[in-house]
Structure 1
Amino acid sequence: MGPQITGRSAADIAASVRALIERGVLAPGDALPPVRNLADELGVNRNTAVAAYRQLTQAGMVVTLGRGGTRVADRSPVAQEGFAADSVLRDVATGNPDSDLIPNPSRALAGVVGRPILYGEPVIDPDLEIWAMQWMRADLAPSDVRLTVTSGAADAVDRLLAQALVRDDAVALEDPCFLTSIHTVRVNGYRPVPVPVDDDGMTVEGLRAALEQGVRAIVCTPRAQNPTGASLGPERAAALRAVLADYPYVLVIEDDHFSMLSRTPFRSLIGPERKRWALVRSVSKFLGPDMCLAVVASDPDTAERLATRLTPGTTWVSHLLQRLALSLLTDDAVVSDIARAADHYSSRNVAFAQKLSAHGVPTTAGDGLNLWVALPVPARDVSEQLMRRGWLARTGDEFSLGAVITDHRLRLTVHDLDDGDAERLAADIASAVRAAGGRLAQAELG
C-alpha cells in the first residue's frame, strides 16, 4: 500500500494522510490507495475510507481524477502573465497590452467624483448599468439579462465558479488554457476537464466528452482565445450550442476579454433557452490592467448568487472606478483610440507572422495580443537558444492541461517591437530552430 496510512475513523485516516503529506512522505502527484484497498487494509467500512478522502479533498490536500484515482494535490505555483522579474533579457512573453495605447484617464478623473456612495446602495453605478446593458444585450440570445460588476474578469470567473461548484466538482477548460483559469481551478480544488482547442476554437467532440464526464461548468473564450488566438466561427458556435442544448443547467461562462479590441465577430455558446450562463467582459486590455473592472451579464439566478458575494462596503467595486470607466468608454476620442489600438495589435501581429514565415517558420496570426507559433522542434530547446540571443519567450507547455500537445509551441507578445527588433527576433527564432536541430520550411525562404 506504500506509505503507512493508519486510523479507524474517517477523521483519523484523514489526519494520517495529512501528516504523511506534511512530512514529505507523500509528494504532490503521488497516488493514494483505491478506496476499496484502503478499507480492506485498515479493516474499516468502505464508507469510512470514502469519508476520509472527502475530508482531504475538501481541505485541498488531495484531488480526485476519475479513472486517474486520488492523488496528492499539486501546490506548485502556476505560471503568471506579465513581465518576468529580474530578467535582463528582452521580454516577449508578457501577454501585456501596449502601455502607450492605454488611454490617459487624467482628463476624465475630475468629472467622476460626484456624491459619496454609502452602505446599502446599489453596487452597480446606474449610468454604467444603462450603458453596459446595451453593450452586452447586443450579443446575447436570452431575453432576461441581469448585470453585475466585478473587479476584473478573473474575479468574475472565480466568483461565478464559487457560487456554482464545490471542491472536486468538474469544470471544462479550453486546452491549451489561459493561465489565470488554470490557477483559479487549481486554487479552488475543482477538477479540470480539458476540451481541445483548434483553429476554430473549442472542439465539438471535446465539449461532448467533457459533458459526458459530468462537468458542472464550462469556461470558454469565444474569440481571441489565449494563448492560441482562435475564435469561434458561425458553424462551430452553432454545433457547440446544439451539444449544450441537452445540458441546459450546466453553467456556461464566456470570457470575452478582448471585446472592443477584437476584429472578429462575437459568436456565443449561449442559446436562448440556456438556464445557467454568464458573459464576462473586462476593460483591462483597452483601459489598462489597473482598471480592475468587468461587467457580467447573466441569468437572474446566477446574478442573484453572484450578488451575495459582492457585499456592499466590503467587496463591491468602487463607484469612482465605475464612473471613470464609463466616462472613458463614452468619450468619442477614447473610443477612437481603442479602435486605433485594435488596428495596431492586428497589423503588428500579422506583420510579424509574415516575417517568421519568410524565415522558414510558417505562422498565421490569430486574434488577440499574442502569436501562437508552431515549431518543428521542442519549444524548450528553442527558448534556451533564444535566451542566448537576448530574448525571453514563453513555451506552450505552460498553457497545457494535457489533452493537446503544446510542447512545440511558443506564445509571443511582439506588438510593441519596432520593425528592426521584429526582424531580428524572427531571424533569431529561425536560427534557434536550426541550432536545436530543426529544419526550416524551405519553400518559405526568400
Structure 2
Amino acid sequence: MSDQITGTTAADIADSVRALRDRGILVPGSPLPPVRELASTLGVNRNTAVAAYRQLAQAGLVVSRGRAGTVITGHESVAQEGYASDTVLRDVGTGNPDPRLIPDPSQALATVAGRPVLYGEPVIDRGLDEWARQWIAQDLGHLDFAVTITSGAVDAVERLLAQALMRDDAVALEDPCFLASIHTVRLGGYRAVPVPVDDEGMTVDGLRAALDAGVRAVICTPRAQNPTGASLTATRAAELRAVLADHPYVLIIEDDHFSMLSQRPYESLIGPTHRRFALVRSVSKFLGPDMCLAIAATDRTTAERLAMRLSPGTTWVSHLLQRLTLTQLTDPAVTARISDAREHYAARNAAFAARLREHGLDSPTPDGLSLWIGLPKPARVVAEGLMRRGWLARTGDDFALDERADPSHHLRLTVHDLSDEDADTLVADLVAAVR
C-alpha cells in the first residue's frame, strides 16, 4: 500500500490517503503502512509521516490500534440502550425504567400552554431556572455556577466536549462505560482513555494515569454508574479531588443521571478551586426517556461557551417542555411517585441479588436500574445459554472501551419489572446456563 500513497509534505500525504479512501482503494479496516516504512518509501522525514497520520486522525479518517497499527475508520456500530428490535425473546438487557412508575403528564400538560415564546426572549424558563438553581445549590452551593438547559444528558455531554476539545484530544471515561458516552466520544473523534471502576467509583490510580496521559476532560458518573451501579463514596471522592487539584483546567463532567432516584448521597469530583466543571442532571429516568431535558450547572466560562455551541442549531429547549418539567417536579403527587419508584427499584434489585447469592453468584446490590452480575465463565457463553431458554441478556462486552480486551465475565440485567415468578425462573435459567 505504501507505493500507492504519494506526497512530500504532511498535507500532500494526508490528501493522498483521503483520495485512496474516497475511491474505495482503502476501505474501513485497511491498514496503513508503518510510519518508518512510509517515510522510507516516500523519501521524507519520519516526522512528516507522523504529522500526516496525525492530520488524518484529527479528521476522523484513521484510528490507531496500538500494536495493530493505523487503520482506516468506518461507521462502526455501537451498542445502544433500550429494547432490542426483532426478537421474540424476553429482553432483560434494556436499561429502561418501569413505564408503570413514570408519572402521567396529562394533567400537567393542560396547564403549561401559555403565550408564545418568540426569538430573542430568555432561553430558560424563569421558573425552571429558579427551581434548578435551588436544586443544584444543595450540592454545589460552595461554587459559582450558571445553569443551562439542554436536550438531555447526552446532548449536554456532546456540547460540553465540543466547546472544550478538538479531534484526537483525550477524554477519561469510566471502564466499563455508559454506552452513550462511548458513542459520543467516538463520533467526536476524541481518544478515550479508560479509568477502571470498582465498588467505590473511579479508581485513584486510574484517574492519575489518565491525567498523566494528557486527558483534557473527565466524564464521571457519581451515582448509579452504568453498567456497574457503583456510586462514589465520600472517601474515594476526596481522594479523586486531591488528584484533580493539580489539574484545575481539566473539564470535569459529572453525569448524575439517577439523581432523584438514587439511594446514595451525591459525592463530587469537583473541588472548591476547580475552574472547569459541569454537573448534568437529566429527568429521563424519573419523568421518562421522552422528556428530553437536562439541567447543566457549569462554571461561568463553560456556560458562555456552551451557549455559543447551542446558538448555531437548537438555540433553546422548548419552553413547553421546560414548563411541563417544572410543573411535574413541583407537584407533590409526582414527587411522591418518584419516591415510590426509588424504593421499588432498590427493593426489586435487592431481592433479585439475594436470589443469586443463594446460588453462589456474585451480585452486589448497587444503585441504578440494573444489576451487574459477576460470572465464573465468559458472559457471551452464559448469554447464549439464556437465549436457548428464552431470555435476551446484555453482556459486559458491550460496555468495554477496549474492543481487544479479554471477554467480559459480567452480565447487566434489568430485572426490576419482573414478577416474583419470572424472577425465580430467570435465576434458575441463569444458574443452569452458568453450569
**TM-score normalised over the length of structure 1:** 0.93
2:69 and 2:233 map into 1 onto residues whose CA distance is 37
Q: Is the 8 A contact 1:356 1:427 kept in 2?
A: no
**What displacement does 1:23 show?**
6.0
1:160 and 1:332 map into 2 onto residues whose CA distance is 33
Q: Aligned runs of 1:13-162 on 2, under 5 Å?
A: 13-22=13-22, 26=26, 28=28, 31-46=31-46, 48-64=48-64, 70-140=70-140, 142-162=142-162
1:193 and 1:324 map into 2 onto residues whose CA distance is 38
**Structure 2 equivalent of residue 438 of structure 1:** none
The range that moved more, 171-180 or 142-151, is 142-151
**What displacement does 1:93 show?**
0.5
Q: 1:131 to 1:432 in 2, by over 3 A?
A: same
**Structure 2 equivalent of residue 395 of structure 1:** 395
Q: Aligned runs of 1:47-446 on 2, under 5 Å?
A: 48-64=48-64, 70-140=70-140, 142-311=142-311, 314-402=314-402, 407-434=408-435
One-letter code aligned to 1:289? P
One-letter code aligned to 1:429? L
Q: Is the 8 A contact 2:2 2:37 kept in 1?
A: no
Q: 1:217 to 1:286 in 2, by over 3 A?
A: same
**What displacement does 1:2 show?**
5.8
2:214 and 2:259 map into 1 onto residues whose CA distance is 30
1:110 aligns to what SS in structure 2?
helix
Q: 1:416 to 1:177 in 2, by over 3 A?
A: same
1:223 aligns to what SS in structure 2?
coil
Q: Is the 8 A contact 2:3 2:41 kept in 1?
A: no
Give CA-to-partner distance per residue, 1:181-229, whole Å, 9 cap, x none. Answer: 0000001100000000011110000000000000000000011000000
**What displacement does 1:152 show?**
0.2
**What displacement does 1:64 show?**
4.4
Give CA-to-partner distance per residue, 1:274-311, whole Å, 9 cap, x none. Answer: 00000000000000000000000000000000001222
Segments of 5+ residues of structure 2 without an aligned counterpart are none
Q: 1:313 to 1:2 in 2, by over 3 A?
A: closer
One-letter code aligned to 1:102? I
**What displacement does 1:362 show?**
2.9
1:25 and 1:113 map into 2 onto residues whose CA distance is 56
**What displacement does 1:273 show?**
0.2
Q: Is the 8 A contact 1:119 1:312 kept in 2?
A: no
Give CA-to-partner distance per residue, 1:59-91, whole Å, 9 cap, x none. Answer: 211134678764433531100000000110000
1:319 and 1:44 map into 2 onto residues whose CA distance is 58
1:53 aligns to what SS in structure 2?
helix
Q: Is the 8 A contact 2:123 2:315 kept in 1?
A: no
The range that moved more, 262-271 or 16-25, is 16-25
Q: Is the 8 A contact 2:2 2:38 kept in 1?
A: no
2:66 and 2:165 map into 1 onto residues whose CA distance is 17
Cα RMSD, aligned residues only: 2.0
**TM-score normalised over the length of structure 2:** 0.95
Q: Percent identity?
A: 69
Question: How many residues of Structure 1 are paired with residues of Structure 2 in the alignment?
Answer: 434
Give CA-to-partner distance per residue, 1:401-446, whole Å, 9 cap, x none. Answer: 1397561100000011000000000000000011xxxxxxxxxxxx
